[in-house]
Structure 1
Amino acid sequence: MSDDSELKRLRWRCRRGMRELDQLMLRYLDRAWPTASDAERSVFLRLLDCEDDKLWRWCMGREHAEDAELHAIVERIVALPP
């Protein structure tokens, strides 16, 4: 799969149906994905498989992901400047 088609597919997966989550996920995709390691990319893909309500609570700091890798990437995403 070409990089362009992969990015289009990921951009679609980042659309969560909630504007705030969309912005957070797309911010990571645009700013951090290009330089992310394969391991970090794998964690981000796992994050995209999570339910929106969990993602929202994690991103708002109301709850923390039990998985340390997911928690770390959520913190990284939230810390990215707007």
Structure 2
Amino acid sequence: MDEVELKRIIWRSRRGLLELDLQLERFVNEVLPTLNEQELAVYEQILMLPDWDFLEYVNGKSVCPDPELAVMIARISAANNNAAGIAERTTEAL
């Protein structure tokens, strides 16, 4: 994927809900650039979801009915959870 396409997808990742933007931030910065074309296509399908549904899926309050999207949503959640784990371990060390 070229840089222009990546920037377009990153821009589309900005949502109308701050909570969702915060959930996506680490994934977009660290994982998105490593996705292959098929994974990017799935991610772009996720971006078409209504914000509230997307947030419910990422927070684990609802299960996405599409298994392919559910796998990518799990990756988004994992990226965010890994960040939370790092912050928690850092806080415990202090």
TM-score by length of 1: 0.84
Q: Within 1, Cα distance between the matches of 2:23 and 2:59?
A: 11
Inter-partner Cα distance in structure 2 for 1:79 and 1:29: 12
State whether structure 2 residue 71 is matched by structure 1 residue 72: yes
* RMSD over aligned Cα atoms: 1.6
Structure 1: 4+ residue segments shifted above 4 A: none
Of all paired residues, the percent bearing the same amino acid is: 33
Q: 1:4-38, CA deviations, whole angstroms, 9 ceiling, x for partnerless residues?
A: 32232222211112122112223222211222122
CA contact (8 A) 2:6 2:33 kept: no
Q: Distance in 2 between matches of 1:35 and 1:5?
A: 15
What residue number does 1:60 align with? 59
Q: Superposition pairs for residues 3-82 of structure 1, below 5 Å?
A: 3-80=2-79, 81-82=82-83
For residues 34-67 of structure 1, what are the alpha-carbon distances to aligned partners after superposition, in whole Å with 9 as ceiling and x for unaligned? 2212211111010001110100110111111100
Measure, in 1, the Cα distance between the counterparts of 2:6 and 2:38.
17
Which has the larger share of helix? 2
State the aligned residue count: 81
Give the TM-score taking structure 2 as reference length: 0.75
Letter in 1 for 2:10: R
Q: Can you give the 5+ residue segments of structure 2 that lack an aligned partner in the other structure?
A: 84-94
Larger of the two Rg values belongs to structure: 2
Residues 11 and 26 of structure 1 are in contact (CA less than 8 Å); yes or no, is this contact kept in structure 2?
A: no
